[in-house]
Amino acid sequence: MNKNVIHQDYEVSLESRQKLNGHRSFLVWLTGLSGSGKSTLADKAEAYFHNKGKHTFTLDGDNTRKRLNADLGFSKEDREENLRRVAETANLMVDAGMLTFAAFISPLNQNRETVKKIVGADNYLEIYVKASVETCEKRDVKGLYKKARKGEIKDFTGISAPYEEPENPDLVVDSEKEPEDDCLKKIIELIEDRLPL
């Protein structure tokens, strides 16, 4: 860090923001293969809590790559930088007192550990949205698996690049075997246990 950059403290604290909002703020990180249902579940969970009057926001891989990370490609280094920027953005949102959702493949345990380190273990819930490559490929809502199989997308997670299942997630929802509503219910229950001040 540049020694000319000095941390500035402000009168309004995280605790005061949380008190004003009436709930704790933290990051709910959904990881899983493309097509596993991460973004859908994050969207539905956010809508549920938003409709309950909670202060929420969702970060999504496609949306951040169109804006915040539009300058990044898909090399290993760019993917790591993509997740680092997202984690820093999520950290600001948590500090602003928001219940923050993030839906990112984040294929390696090391990636997720970096996110956890940036936001802090107390502010991080990890949810593994589990589904096999075969199921995700059948869904292929974006046509990405088809392109990856043709060689049009290099280093595609699950096809030509690895996905490491989380070692100790706070929750596993199996979107291949469980109905979407059941997965959502489990996510909501996990968050509701942690939300009160």
Domain covering 21-51+114-194, topology: Rossmann fold (3.40.50)
CA–CA–CA angle 42, 75, 64 (5° rounding)? 30
> What letter does residue 164 receive in the DSSP assignment?
P
The answer to whether 36 is a known catalytic residue is no
User: 95 forms bridges with which residues in the sheet?
Assistant: none
Name the average pLDDT for the chain: 93
pLDDT value for 21: 94
Query: What are 119-153's pLDDT values in tens digits?
Result: 999 999 999 999 999 999 999 878 888 888 888 88
pLDDT value for 171: 98
pLDDT value for 3: 76
- Residues 125, 29: contact at Cβ < 8 Å? yes
pLDDT value for 1: 56
The residue from 13, 106, 132, 175 that is catalytic is: 106
Whole-prediction pTM value?
0.92
Stretches where the chain sits below pLDDT 70 are 1
* Strand order through the sheet with 171-174: 56-60, 99-103, 27-31, 124-130, 171-174
> What letter does residue 53 receive in the DSSP assignment?
T
Contacts of 128 (CB under 8 A, 6+ apart): 31, 32, 165, 166, 169, 171, 172, 173
How do the domains of the chain map onto residue ranges?
21-51+114-194
